[in-house]
Amino acid sequence: MSHVRIAPSILSADFGRLAEDIARVVEGGADLIHVDVMDGRYVPNLTFGAGAIAAARRACDLPLDVHLMVEEPERHLEPFAEAGASIFTFHPEATRHVQRHLAAARELGMRAGLALNPASPLALVEDVLDDLDLLLLMTVNPGYAGQRYIEGSSAKIRRARTLLERHGRAVWLEVDGGITADTIGTAFAAGADTFVAGSAVFGAPDPADAVRTLRRRCAVAV
Ligand code: DX5
Ligand code: ZN
């Protein structure tokens, strides 16, 4: 089970008590802290910038898994690296020179990730697998926490797993959206190894316990 990574999304945290909420999921054994950056253009919602990333950085030692749902994500490469981002994941449709920006993320000391919306084909990442440390599959349409897992996602997770196995390099396969104690087993069985969860963790009475429950559900999934 060591390859299962749980990444609570602070989009569902209490922003007035961010450090305390992060401390709770650290206590529960979270592996990463997922930070959802939204610009009001690529998605309708507006969320965090470098200041919030720096605040999360001060609150814990876990890697910060920064997910940019923004147009021209490359504008944030340097400020986010400076703020303490560990993983820089963006959507390929939001920019033109995808490979250049993946390489730049690595040069700045971050891991490089690409995120695909439910309707975006795996073909968008096939030619840059060498430049990739993480592939994020959206299992809802991005923009908000608390949406339902799109069932058809499991087939895409399986295809992505096959693609990564064939390629041979260790690329993390992350799923994001609607991951709960009820859906995580399906996503794990399909081949995902990294699981973002917002409302299922911070909406639970005990976020530490919610992290443990999610991990346990992977252990019992076929
Ligand atoms: C959605 C974000 C997710 C969100 C997940 O656009 O990318 O990371 O926080 O929230 P839940 O787990 O509640 O679906
Ligand atoms: Zn996200």
pLDDT of 72-84, one tens digit each? 999 999 999 999 9
113 Cα: distance to centroid of ligand 1 (angstroms): 16
Shortest CA distance to 112 belongs to which of 52, 42, 160, 172?
172
In this structure, which long-range contacts are made by residues 13-16, counting pairs with CB atoms below 8 Å and at least 24 apart in sequence? Answer: 13/202, 14/202
- In the predicted model, is pLDDT for residue 215 greater than 70? yes
- In the predicted model, is pLDDT for residue 222 greater than 70? no
Supply the mean pLDDT for the chain. 97
Pocket of ligand 1, beta carbon within 6 A: 9, 11-12, 34, 36, 67, 140, 142-147, 176-179, 196-200
- In the predicted model, is pLDDT for residue 219 greater than 90? no
146-171: average pLDDT? 96
- The per-residue pLDDT for 3 is 85
Report yes or no on whether pTM surpasses 0.85.
yes
- The per-residue pLDDT for 2 is 53
The SS3 of residue 46 is: strand
* Distance from the Cα of residue 57 to its chain's centroid: 16
Question: Where does the pLDDT of residue 105 fall: very low under 50, low under 70, confident under 90, or very high at 90 and above?
Answer: very high
Q: Which of 9, 87, 214 to mutate to test the pocket of ligand 1 (most atoms within 8 A of CB)?
A: 9
34 Cα: distance to centroid of ligand 1 (angstroms): 9
Q: Strand 194-197 relative to strand 5-8: parallel, antiparallel, unpaired?
A: parallel
Distance CA 131, CA 219 (A): 31
Neighbours of ion ligand 2 (CB under 5 A): 36, 67, 176
Length of the chain: 222
Tokens 């089970």 sit on residue = 1
